Amino acid sequence: MSPPRWPSQLQYLQSSQFHSSVPHVTRLTILGNPKGPAAPHRPPVVIRPISSTSHPAYGQYGLFAAKKIPPKTHIIDYIGEIHCDDRPDSDYDLSLYRGHDGVNVGIDASKMGNEARFINDYRGVTAKPNAIFSDTKTPWGEMCMIVCSSGQEIKKGEEILVSYGKAWWRARSSDSLIAV
């Protein structure tokens, strides 16, 4: 079941889906040795509209801590459509894997995903991010992208904010006045 305030036009996913652009051999590399579906995990987060007019993403959504999150703690997996085609127009596309064969694999949550797609960048909101994206592997070797708290605890109700990176903003600098 999708979480409260999940937009009806988007597909809510419990695990990432492969797009047809991902070659079979690349799928096997990404999946590792699957041991069956992972136990469902309700992340300690809530989607909320950004209601502060001083927030640069005012009028959009953000992701907030539903309870206190200790430092360096896994918060949520970044789930979406795993793909190998180019998605230059997506603002929800993270790089998962770059193969030696030149294959680039991304996770795009523009049309389908989970709560993690609502994480905003810290610029213009706080002095520094309180969370990071991290590419890692599950115990059974599946490649995945997760969101973890950084060195300090995140208080209940606080917005979860990462850095999208300077390159992300530079690529969009004609649309945005944010200094990178």
Judged by CB under 6 A, the number of residues near ligand SAM is: 15
* Tokens found for residue 144: 């995945």
Rule CB under 6 A: choose which of 123, 158, 163, 171 binds ligand SAM. 123
Q: How far apart are the first and last CA of the chain?
A: 38
Q: Does 178 sit near ligand SAM (CB under 6 A)?
A: yes
Give me the residue label for tokens 């797609």: 117
Q: Does 118 sit near ligand SAM (CB under 6 A)?
A: yes
Based on CB atoms, which residue is closest to ligand SAM, 26 or 94? Answer: 94
Q: Which listed range, 72-80, 94-102, 117-125, 135-143, lies at the site for ligand SAM (CB under 6 A)?
A: 117-125
> What DSSP character marks residue 140?
T
In whole angstroms, the minimum distance from the beta carbon of 151 to ligand SAM comes to 20
Question: Which residues from 2-61 bind ligand SAM, rule CB under 6 A?
Answer: 56-57, 60-61
Q: How far apart are CA 13 and CA 64, in angstroms?
A: 19
Of 31, 22, 155, residue with least CA distance to 101:
22
Asked if 78 and 94 touch (Cβ cutoff 8 Å), the reply is yes
Q: Which listed range, 20-28, 38-46, 120-128, 131-139, lies at the site for ligand SAM (CB under 6 A)?
A: 120-128
Binding site for ligand SAM (CB under 6 A): 56-57, 60-62, 91-92, 117-118, 120-121, 123-125, 178
